[in-house]
Amino acid sequence: MTEPASLRSRQPRFRGLEAGHRACQGCGEALAARLVTESAGPDVILTNATGCLEVFTTPWPQSAWRVPWLHSLFENSAAIASGVEAALKAQGRRTKVIAMGGDGGTFDIGFQALSGMLERMHNVLYVCYDNEAYMNTGIQRSSSTPHAAMTTTSPPGKNRMGKRHMKKDLLSIIAAHHVPYAASASVAYPQDLRRKVRRAMEIEGPTFLLVHSPCPLGWGHDGTLSIEIARLGVQTGLFPLIELERGEVASVMPIRNPVPVVEYLKRQGRFRHLFSDGDHRAREEREHLQALADYNIERYGLKGDGDDPLDTDGADTVRRGGPART
């Protein structure tokens, strides 16, 4: 082992989010937050909207955070971050500000504050941990909840098959603000996620990262399957991994062998009603979701061409027992 490599191997990894928090087993959000803070490093200030991440990391009088951290209201993490960034700028300090929220506090309740932060061009990285529902308050639907998913406020029944509405295309809305950088990432591809965090941290101005983060409780799967399910979300095309610069697509993670959407759906309790025997609506909704995935693959040019070390099969992924190695 070369001397620089040896030094790196002996250097403890910085952990902005410490072990010992109270997240559920298999929580994708906890893993995502750890990866984000590891990649961002110690010279940061975090603002965190009310939600699962805030609750399970800071049960009074304890905290799992090892960097400055502020709890904001559900709706104003971006506004608080804007104020912190403005204060640091007035002091001549270059400490980076990271605002964080779940999909409820980002897609819905906090969108006005987020849009204002982007429009005013604050030097803030906003990270949305997308677990696709209001998990902390009882698994209610959000505008990020996928079409046909079951939540406590979108139950399947004789009048509908889960949520009627489409998942909001938040990245396109963010892109319409012409920010320098926006991207999507998944906890199933940690190296890709880390790279995107570091890229965002290097940019002067507002940046945005949407991280797909499975929730075993809300999605209805065993905690040991979180990474497998997250990977299938990408490999089916339902959650494309893309990068946008000034509103234009700059790069995508190609899908080497697209996986049928049913392989993603059947592993989650929130979609179990889509496999009801003899119900033609279930088949129609499965076909609808497959069409949505096919549309994403076509729209972003996700279909790969041969083997690629950076496609969905070649990129570094997490499996039980640690990162996969080839």
Domain membership of residue 323 (yes or no) is no
Q: Which residues of 129-154 are buried (b: 16+ CB within 10 A; e: fewer)?
A: bbbbbbbbeebbbbbbbbbbbbbeeb
Asked if residue 5 has pLDDT above 90, the reply is no
Domain membership of residue 2 (yes or no) is no
* Residues forming a β-bridge with 182: 208, 244
Domain membership of residue 130 (yes or no) is yes
Pick 12 or 274 by higher pLDDT.
274
Confidence band, pLDDT 50/70/90 cuts, at residue 325: very low
d(CA 158, CA 7): 63
Q: Give how many domains the chain has, as a whole number.
A: 1
Residue with tokens 């990245």: 171
d(CA 185, CA 129): 10
Domain membership of residue 123 (yes or no) is yes
- Residue 200: give its domain's CATH number: 3.40.50.970
Q: What is the pLDDT of residues 108-132, one digit of tens each?
A: 999 999 999 999 999 999 999 999 9
Q: pLDDT > 90: what percent of the chain? A: 87
pTM over 0.85: yes
What pLDDT score was predicted for residue 306?
83
d(CA 291, CA 298): 10
Question: What is the domain range of residue 122?
Answer: 8-299
Domain membership of residue 305 (yes or no) is no
Asked if residue 15 has pLDDT above 80, the reply is yes
- 265's CB contacts (< 8 A; 6+ apart) are 271, 274, 275, 286, 289
Asked if residue 248 has pLDDT above 70, the reply is yes
What pLDDT score was predicted for residue 6?
72
Confidence band, pLDDT 50/70/90 cuts, at residue 278: confident
Residue 94 tokens read as: 């270059």
Domain membership of residue 106 (yes or no) is yes
Confidence band, pLDDT 50/70/90 cuts, at residue 326: very low
